[in-house]
Structure 1
């Protein structure tokens, strides 16, 4: 089982999505299920809207998963296992106040030393603990030996007991801390591979230590993915008119060695190799995404493109593709289509000519051929040169430039009544 673990307090960005996509690809390659685990133990900051948006985006990108679970549903397991650790003297109650811990931290910072718990409450007697009515956290005793693990992308890492520290596993309100909850979840759901961003690499030894303390012996493979330097919300890219297929293509391509530049997620499953990913952080390039998006728009089915644009006509889909000479996104294409169908009231600099041509076109018979319509309007209005061509184009397209009218007309001829309204 693999897992993607987004937080219900944060908006999904392209770094999160890249992790989700890679987990999806690996789950397909390993023939294992993918679990979506919503991290929602922070009840004060949780957002049902964020959770709903995350799942909608995963579905939009065709990321298949076996089930969705909420971390908040595991609270009883976190507390029960913490009690087990305390009974086995592997964890202890810590009565140190936040103010006292902050004081210690400040003193260490002045000395240029990292903060580590000083062990003050570690050896308190059971009697002392029972007689103390102050609120307490639960800390897991630091490991006796170094924690070593191998990252499939970055190699071997070793963390000394001092670096792992005696860290908190239950807060004052008895909710779990991040590392403790993650470690327990990976046990509960039989996770075999954890692929996440490299900013969580230092969390890994703590999570391994939790499982070791509970005598959990299953080995979990770790892959820590270099981050994206300039992370952007995924929803913003969708709203700007980028296709999910193009965004996925770019995120797989980013910092990777691939056999080709333009591909689908299904194709990537066939050849993707996590070991080809660069170990360096990568920069998101919007211009590169635009290039890839245009390539995907060129390949998209005309009827599907038409429906995305709000129609159900292959002619409109073909018309949309005509604008790819000057547009990169659905939003830009839709702007061109809207210009055609929006009501035009005048054409600056050619006001009289505009009125004359528009009146003529409203009375014109239907013509299959563009040149026949053009000749009809010229004959009826007596207009020539720019006095005809500029307002005539503007009435048909709402623009002063763009693809040839000879290319556009066959695709809009059935809508002339609406266009010249």
Structure 2
């Protein structure tokens, strides 16, 4: 590909909450840089001052830290090509725009929005390309004076070469764009503010970016940027510098629609709030266009870095599947966290505002005793409260559906027999509890699964949960019997009412 040291960049705009498509781009750039021993540049594109916010900027930094996608140059780290916020580089862009204008690579365009719209509509009606038609390319001094007399303020428009532009995309192979499909384009607004179309390639050139890996939606801007790189080299802004480009596949949501920022499942905050592990989420996002092997979906970031090859990225759109994302995360929770790390990772969901119990009711030792069992069952960390709430609530949760399912006719007799058996136990261990419940069930012609159902609901409030007998061992004899008594009382009251 090249012997030049790899330099890639991740350059989001701080204009809203981070989304999963953005993170997939960040991940692929990070893995590419780490695989090649290169430099990962984190750059903030905040020239859109009307939409950029400090809150979004801080959110981007926090997300990158949470994900563990460390950067070598950028905010809070610095580097030889700073500053790394475009809002702090305006003088650089203005200077380069002036050089392009002086050299004839750019020109002033006085066309109004209404005129542009009318000419685009006419071109479409005639079956011609509807991009800018070059009206202001060769204005005379008299025409310029007439526009200025009208009070028009021009934008600065880049002059595209009248020849095809061909490049080899690292994902899609060789691509050619003809002049009629890549018209001249604006690079500076009428008020003097530079546009993304200028600042993005200027920064890539000045920061010596060697590989640009970005979304497929930016593919059409690549020939324009290649022409701009060449023009900057001609005016001596940079050495001859055109990076390699690779355009990552779309991420689709429902149906065939591209996953939008407005789609709920695209918001990164959703995954963080639900308790996805960064490693699990990143593992799944890597699968949206790349795989470590045909028969393997689960891998660590270290394994991804070792294997990552941009040429192996699939150009076809990738569909975001929330269920699969959850399944991948569940494997990481089960297999890639030690018991101690799992306990620590659950900690935010074991206290307010996530936990439904009183803070003083939480018993770390009781939780630690059942944590290994919970670890095999949760999909995301926020599942943990529903798995262990019976330990810390004064009463089990009331779930009418679970109660109706378990407390069928005859349940009171079985539960009373189980209570008597539990009362007589000489040792309150999971093994002895199981034996007692099994014996009580068999006396009523029930197998263990049927016999333990009303006991589980009486004690935990739910028909499903952690292994019952280990749970009862940790809950303890007094609280277990107290809850069984409460359930028997409720059943007796219901029987009396129905009678």
Whether TM-score is above 0.5 comes out as yes
Q: How many residues align?
A: 414
- Aligned partner (choices 93, 107, 131) of residue 116 of structure 1: 131
Taking a change above 3 Å as real, the CA distance of residues 373 and 282 of structure 1, as seen in their structure-2 partners, is closer
Q: CA deviation at 1:334?
A: 2.9
Asked if the contact 1:143–1:164 (Cα under 8 Å) also holds between the matched residues in 2, the reply is: no
Alignment partners' CA distance in 1, 2:457 and 2:445: 14
Aligned pairs for 1:32-111 within 5 A: 32-66=38-72, 67-68=74-75, 69-111=84-126
Structure 1, unaligned runs of 5 or more: 378-383
Q: Which residue number in structure 1 is paired with residue 198 of structure 2?
A: 180
Alignment partners' CA distance in 2, 1:419 and 1:59: 47
Does residue 228 of structure 1 match 2:251? yes
Taking a change above 3 Å as real, the CA distance of residues 189 and 83 of structure 1, as seen in their structure-2 partners, is same
Taking a change above 3 Å as real, the CA distance of residues 2 and 376 of structure 1, as seen in their structure-2 partners, is same
SS across alignment from 1:214: helix
1:26-49 alpha-carbon deviations (Å, 9 max, x no partner): 111222221112221111111322
Taking a change above 3 Å as real, the CA distance of residues 130 and 243 of structure 1, as seen in their structure-2 partners, is same
SS across alignment from 1:168: strand
RMSD over aligned CA atoms reads 3.6
- Aligned partner (choices 235, 255, 269) of residue 305 of structure 2: 269
Taking a change above 3 Å as real, the CA distance of residues 114 and 339 of structure 1, as seen in their structure-2 partners, is farther
Q: Comparing both chains, which one has the higher relative contact order based on Cα–Cα distances under 8 Å and sequence gaps of 6 or more?
A: 1
Q: CA deviation at 1:396?
A: 3.6
Taking a change above 3 Å as real, the CA distance of residues 418 and 139 of structure 1, as seen in their structure-2 partners, is farther
Taking a change above 3 Å as real, the CA distance of residues 168 and 330 of structure 1, as seen in their structure-2 partners, is same
Structure 2, unaligned runs of 5 or more: 1-6, 76-83, 254-258, 260-265, 351-363, 438-443, 484-499
Does residue 213 of structure 1 match 2:213? no
Q: Which residue number in structure 1 is paired with residue 464 of structure 2?
A: 401
1:377-417 alpha-carbon deviations (Å, 9 max, x no partner): 9xxxxxx999995564335423233343223345x347987
* TM-score, length of structure 2 as denominator length: 0.73
* TM-score, length of structure 1 as denominator length: 0.85
Does residue 369 of structure 1 match 2:429? yes
- Aligned partner (choices 266, 272, 275) of residue 241 of structure 1: 275
SS across alignment from 2:252: coil
Q: CA deviation at 1:364?
A: 12
Alignment partners' CA distance in 1, 2:480 and 2:15: 46
SS across alignment from 1:38: coil
Taking a change above 3 Å as real, the CA distance of residues 406 and 352 of structure 1, as seen in their structure-2 partners, is closer
Asked if the contact 2:47–2:86 (Cα under 8 Å) also holds between the matched residues in 1, the reply is: yes
